[in-house]
Chain A
Amino acid sequence: MEASIVLIGLSHHTAPVELRERVAVPNGRLDGTLRELVRLPGVSEAAIVSTCNRVEVIACGPDGEALERMLPVFLAERHGVAVDDVTSRLYVHRDREAVRHLFRVAASLDSMVVGEPQILGQLKEQYARAVAVGSSGPVLHRCFHKSFSVAKRVRTGTRLAERAVSVGTAAIGLAKEIFDRLDDKTALLLGAGTMGELTARQLLAHGIGSLMVTSRTFERALTVARTLHGTAIPFDRLLRHLAFADLVVSALDVSEPALRGAHIEAALRERRGRPVFLIDLAVPRSLDPAINEVDGAYLYDIDDLQQVVAENRDARAWEARRAEAMIEGEVETFWAWLRGRAVAPTIADLRAHAERLRARELERHAGLLAALDPQQREELERLTRRLVNKILHAPTAALGRHGESEGLDSPLVHAARELFALDEPPEDGGDDST
């Protein structure tokens, strides 16, 4: 009668990639797995979410506890993994928790990189498969579509997706405020240590056009340049190449600044004033702070960048809280719908019961009614129907109201079924004595 929703799964929060990849449902086997799922006893609807970071099974059925027992076994056995291995890493959510979890996943609050947008596309794609296979029904349909709209609300209503959270992404964000495009820009990496290499790698990943690498040991510069597909430059030629660099990333381990304002001024003249963005990752600093005073040069040291990152983290945490609040509201709305839906059968039973009584009474007195003319008979029909409706109006309204807030737990549902004997088979004409 009342549908229970159960979601089980494992994600990057709970399981290492070795286990995740073993239970992952590859695209080619998704349809078959879904078909098997809905064939399980007690499963009325099912969908699967399987990405590189998570494998989740979401199912509906009348008995939530049974689903909670059944789904992990299904997941383990289907992939030939010991059930215990899976269950220890598994999260199991039921009903409201399950809905909340799905909404959070869709809104990218549960992602490895919170706010990343890919998950929503993956979710939509995999839900479409469940629809195509026919494993999804009215409850999951509404649940998933609600999750999509919640995700969209979170994306447009918060700035979760826009915030840079690492030094590298902060640098990229700043570069985009200076340059209109990055793919025709050249970055110069000073010092081929790990930190510099990592940042250069991020710059390249975000579409910086080309890379020059220089280091005091030329071999080291060569190695890094080779792995990053850049050009190595001898350290003593640095100043000659400076004018070609739109971005300068310095991670040099030096006690004296390697570049000073005058160097940058000269480079800017040669660049005919095109701006240059400098990032100093080294401590002590390897670029003279006075460079920032030069027209057209923008120097950020590691503290500046980290401040950007920290502010973004704070802002992000705040945005995430706002997103959670949005989701909470939507979970409640969905839940109210599901519960209202749960009492619907009781209301329908009640109406059917009353209608049956009415019809039977009219039938029993058919002889008496035969004496009336058609107009009078019709009038009588209408009268009895109105009477039934009037009597049922208050009880059905109350059921609807309580159903939305309490679902099947509502004492009113039990009371209604008890008082009107809705769960007993309709007797045939045994109530003559009343």
Chain B
Amino acid sequence: MTPADLLLLRGAAGLYFVATVIALSAITTRRALPERLLRWALAGGLALHAASLVWRSATAGYLAVANFGEALSFLGLLLVATFLVIQRRLPVLALAAVVVPLAFGLTLAASALKGGVQPLPPVLHSVWLPVHVGLAILGDALLALACSASVLYLVQDRRLKAHRVRGVHPHFPSLETLDRLSHRSVVWGLVLLTLAILTGIVWAHEAWRGPRAQNWVLDPKLVFTVGAWAFYVVLLQGRMAGGWRGRFAAQLTIAGFAVIVLSLVGVNALGLGRHGGLF
């Protein structure tokens, strides 16, 4: 029997797939984006996705973001949610062509990985779980958004350079808009990442002290995250002081997210350190 939360998650993945097809086909055939349809598909997917999370958390008795599959699912959820919020304020709906496939992939992977609800290891039983994981994953979602904007920036840059514009694509965000979105997402993503690291340190300090003391300072997850954090700090510094913009900044933003992905996939999937297997 398939648990209800998994069914809901698959429904969400289905709707994200529909939205992916809508966005990509409109852009590759140079047609106007069917905006309302796209928004409805995304909002519908998001609703199912949220329902899945609520259901699972209710069954488990804690915010269901404790294992790798759950974390991927949560990342997909927050990515779609932040995108839906941002496209209301900036004309960047075409960014769906990058963001939504990503969200679809995350959700699909999550629905493949997610087993049944497992009892939480006692060490994770803490109010820090939702706080720390929520901050970290929201930060990751914003950095994923920054990466998506940068990918679209590079595509748009190439089109314009190659003079392959074929007239005007009124639904394509301008270079300036994409650059700014990427920059702001990195700023907020970095703030959240910082808070996630700090809460993680406080939590680890509490959890592994006294007789259970362990050396968590060299935990691979922490090392990778601090590495990515430093990378983004350099990027922001360069943007603000060195006038890094455009292509170079976009490439760095993508590279920074690659480190995040490494820390996600490498550390969690391979089960290294304390975050291994769990998140």
Which residues of A come within 8 Å of B, CB atoms? Answer: 156, 159, 162-164, 170, 173-174, 176-180, 269, 271-275, 292, 295-296, 298, 300, 304, 307-308, 311-312, 315
Nearest CB of A to B95, in Å: 14
Q: A159-B32, A275-B176, A300-B163 are in contact. Are A177 and B168 (CB under 8 A)?
A: yes
Encoded as 1 (CB less than 8 Å from any A CB) or 0, chain B from 59 to 93 comes to: 00000000000000000000000000000000100
Contact among A179, A271, A275, A315 for B167, CB-based, below 8 A: A315
Encoded as 1 (CB less than 8 Å from any A CB) or 0, chain B from 243 to 268 comes to: 11111110000000000000000000
Chain B binding surface SS class: loop
Determine the distance from Cα of A307 to Cα of B164 in the docked complex, in whole angstroms: 10
- Does the CB pair B168–A311 fall under 8 Å? no
CB nearest neighbor in B for A161: B170
Nearest CB of B to A292, in Å: 6
Determine the distance from Cα of A312 to Cα of B91 in the docked complex, in whole angstroms: 23
Q: A177-B156, A272-B243, A275-B175 are in contact. Are A292 and B161 (CB under 8 A)?
A: yes
CB nearest neighbor in A for B175: A178
- Does the CB pair B248–A308 fall under 8 Å? no
B274 within 8 A of A: no
Contact among A177, A272, A311 for B175, CB-based, below 8 A: A177
Q: Which chain A residues lie closer than 8 Å to B176 at the CB level? A: 178-180, 275
- Does the CB pair A298–B161 fall under 8 Å? yes
B166 within 8 A of A: yes
B55 within 8 A of A: no
Determine the distance from Cα of A352 to Cα of B218 in the docked complex, in whole angstroms: 98
Determine the distance from Cα of A244 to Cα of B100 in the docked complex, in whole angstroms: 38
**8 A Cβ contacts from B159-175 to A:** 160-161, 163, 165-170, 172-175
Q: Which chain A residues lie closer than 8 Å to B243 at the CB level? A: 269, 271-273
Determine the distance from Cα of A269 to Cα of B248 in the docked complex, in whole angstroms: 13
Further 18 A-B residue pairs, CB within 8 A, beyond A173-B165, A304-B163: A156-B32, A162-B32, A164-B168, A173-B168, A176-B168, A177-B174, A179-B176, A180-B173, A269-B243, A272-B245, A273-B246, A275-B175, A275-B176, A275-B246, A292-B161, A295-B246, A308-B166, A315-B167
Q: A273-B245, A296-B245, A296-B247 are in contact. Are A177 and B32 (CB under 8 A)?
A: no
Q: Which chain A residues lie closer than 8 Å to B161 at the CB level? A: 292, 298
Determine the distance from Cα of A79 to Cα of B166 in the docked complex, in whole angstroms: 48
Determine the distance from Cα of A84 to Cα of B166 in the docked complex, in whole angstroms: 48
Determine the distance from Cα of A163 to Cα of B167 in the docked complex, in whole angstroms: 7
Q: How many residue pairs between the two chains, A and B, have CB atoms under 8 Å in the bound complex?
A: 77
Nearest CB of B to A429, in Å: 67
Q: Which chain B residues lie closer than 8 Å to A180 at the CB level? A: 91, 173-174, 176-177, 180
Determine the distance from Cα of A272 to Cα of B183 in the docked complex, in whole angstroms: 15
11 A-B residue pairs with Cβ-Cβ distance under 8 Å, sorted by A, are A162-B32, A162-B167, A173-B167, A173-B168, A177-B175, A273-B243, A273-B249, A275-B175, A295-B247, A298-B160, A311-B167
Nearest CB of A to B161, in Å: 6
A-B residue pairs, 6 tightest by C-beta: A272-B243, A273-B245, A173-B168, A180-B177, A180-B176, A312-B167
Nearest CB of A to B41, in Å: 19
Scoring B91, B160, B166, B170 by chain A CB atoms within 10 A of each residue's CB, the highest score goes to: B160
Determine the distance from Cα of A318 to Cα of B177 in the docked complex, in whole angstroms: 32
Determine the distance from Cα of A272 to Cα of B32 in the docked complex, in whole angstroms: 34
What bracket does the count of chain B residues touching chain A fall in?
Answer: 20 to 34
- Does the CB pair B245–A274 fall under 8 Å? yes
Nearest CB of A to B119, in Å: 51
Q: Which chain A residues lie closer than 8 Å to B172 at the CB level? A: 177
- Does the CB pair A162–B168 fall under 8 Å? yes
**8 A Cβ contacts from B81-135 to A:** 91
- Does the CB pair A174–B160 fall under 8 Å? yes
Determine the distance from Cα of A174 to Cα of B180 in the docked complex, in whole angstroms: 19
- Does the CB pair B160–A177 fall under 8 Å? yes
Determine the distance from Cα of A3 to Cα of B158 in the docked complex, in whole angstroms: 59
Q: Which chain A residues lie closer than 8 Å to B248 at the CB level? A: 273, 295
Q: Which chain A residues lie closer than 8 Å to B169 at the CB level? A: 177
Q: Which chain B residues lie closer than 8 Å to A307 at the CB level? A: 163
Q: A273-B244, A298-B160 are in contact. Are A170 and B174 (CB under 8 A)?
A: no
- Does the CB pair B165–A179 fall under 8 Å? no
- Does the CB pair B168–A174 fall under 8 Å? yes
CB nearest neighbor in A for B159: A177
Q: Which chain A residues lie closer than 8 Å to B246 at the CB level? A: 273, 275, 295-296
Determine the distance from Cα of A174 to Cα of B169 in the docked complex, in whole angstroms: 9
CB nearest neighbor in B for A307: B163
CB nearest neighbor in B for A158: B32
Nearest CB of A to B9, in Å: 35
Determine the distance from Cα of A275 to Cα of B243 in the docked complex, in whole angstroms: 12
Determine the distance from Cα of A185 to Cα of B165 in the docked complex, in whole angstroms: 22
Q: A178-B160, A180-B176, A304-B163 are in contact. Are A162 and B170 (CB under 8 A)?
A: yes
Nearest CB of A to B2, in Å: 41
- Does the CB pair B174–A308 fall under 8 Å? no
Nearest CB of A to B67, in Å: 41
